Amino acid sequence: MELPMEKWTILSRKKIMQRAVFSVSDMECEHASLGISHTFSIIDAPDWINVVAQTENGELILVRQHRLGTDEITWETPAGMIEKGEDPRCAAERELSEETGYTAKEIVLMSVLRANPAIMTNRIHFFLAKGCTEIQKQNLDREEDISVELRSVRQVQDMIHSGQIDHSIIVTALSLFLLSEKQQSVTEGL
């Protein structure tokens, strides 16, 4: 039997900074049975989408860009923020098209996860875009400089193993895809 756990009571919440892609708030909380109060600082961000996109030939569409958090050029799957009021699937189609110029025949939701419940409020919607074809040019934001690269599923697995793909959210997206592929091949093998 699973016992209910006790939650902290949130007494107050105050935004202490706001930037374009996230804000930070302090929350004063108290815990009745621990008999203490504590301030938790949390990061508010809009929900994000992440797209594992596969061409009609089965290759995966990767993007490269300079990321300032780590000051490195990363290998990633197309991704971005959901705009206010935007449907997650539309955001996935939009980001795929803007960052790569590709459009999918079909987009399916793989999973919706919490980015990091300890300190972040938002969710990540992971999509699989199938049968993608390049039908237009990239349409990048002013500050974006993104190159597009195609790699086989096998190459992408090797890039994860070697550490060339080392962005945890991207590894999550690709793992969801690889685990579902393995599941499928097990099922088909029966």
Residues that bind a copy of itself (CB under 8 A): 2-3, 5-8, 10, 16-17, 19-22, 24, 26-27, 29, 31, 33-34, 36, 38, 40-43, 64-74, 111-121, 124, 142-143, 145, 147, 149, 163, 166-169, 171-172, 175-176, 178-179, 182
Instruction: To the nearest 10°, report the CA torsion of 76, 70, 19, 84.
Output: 10
CB of 51 to a copy of itself, least distance (A): 15
Q: Which is nearer to a copy of itself, 132 or 176 (CB)?
A: 176
Q: What is the rounded CA–CA span in Å between residue 94 and residue 112?
A: 18
CB of 84 to a copy of itself, least distance (A): 19
Q: Which is nearer to a copy of itself, 66 or 105 (CB)?
A: 66
88, 99, 156, 184 from 144: Cα distances, Å: 21, 9, 24, 36
CB of 105 to a copy of itself, least distance (A): 25
CB of 145 to a copy of itself, least distance (A): 6
Q: Which is nearer to a copy of itself, 22 or 103 (CB)?
A: 22
Q: Which is nearer to a copy of itself, 85 or 163 (CB)?
A: 163
CB 93 within 8 A of CB 104: yes
Q: Which is nearer to a copy of itself, 44 or 131 (CB)?
A: 44
Q: What is the rounded CA–CA span in Å between residue 100 and residue 57?
A: 16
* Residue in 136, 128, 133, 135 with CA at minimum distance from that of residue 153: 128
CB of 160 to a copy of itself, least distance (A): 8
In this structure, the number of other CB atoms found within 10 A of the CB of residue 187 comes to: 8
* Residue in 97, 60, 95, 90 with CA at minimum distance from that of residue 173: 60
